[in-house]
Amino acid sequence: MRPALIVLAEDPAGGVPGLTDDARVADTLLARTLTLARAVGGVGRVLLFSPPEAEATLTSRSLGFRLWPAEGDTLGARYANAFRQSGELGYEGAVVIGLGVPTIPPQRLTEAAALLEEHQGVLIPDGAGGVAVLGLQGAEPTLFPPTGGVPDHDTLCTRARQQRVRLHELPAHPALTPLDLDDHLGVAAAG
């Protein structure tokens, strides 16, 4: 089984939804997330991007990744569709991350991908009610809210129980927030 490690990215010129409007900060987060993803073993790497016009901006950055347009009108729809798109691209399952977890150790993502061999899904919460990493063996559209939003931890777990999708939960890893973004960038620049 070879799952995809999917990095979901918006055009850095528009910032990172829910995190920053600053294009330079978004570009830095994209670079760090792609570097992180390149260190993950046993996966195919896919950069799903939106909007389609962002391809020209991202092509030079995507060495080692399949660059593919994300499908969906909202971030939540693109997140949900990423699992279906991984199958269409020939992968057996997917682990999806956004640009808000550039500090997660690559070994944690390798572990999540490997656990898809034995579990329908793997979840790493962000410790603040959200989802840092989600891996699924296949598309599970019923796990995602019909409103098109990105599911929070409790909603995802509730819908998984209702749909009998077994999620193996790993210890939390904090996602960046607007409040700690400057501290992260300062520490990373100094280190």
Q: What's the pLDDT tens digit per position in 90-140?
A: 999 999 999 999 999 999 999 999 999 999 999 999 999 999 999 999 999
Q: Mind giving me the DSSP string for the chain?
A: ---EEEEEEE-GGG-BTTTB--HHHHHHHHHHHHHHHHT--S-EEEEEEESGGGHHHHGGG-TTSEEEE---SSHHHHHHHHHHHHHHTT-SSEEEE-TT-TTS-HHHHHHHHHHTTT-SEEEEE-SSSSEEEEEESS--GGGS-TT-PPPPHHHHHHHHHHHT--EEEPPP-PPP-TTTHHHHHHHHHH-
pLDDT, position 6: 98
Q: What is the mean pLDDT of residues 47-54?
A: 94
Q: What's the pLDDT tens digit per position in 54-84?
A: 999 899 999 999 999 999 998 889 999 999 9
pLDDT, position 190: 44
Threshold 0.85, pTM exceeds: yes
- pLDDT bracket for residue 188 (50, 70, 90): low
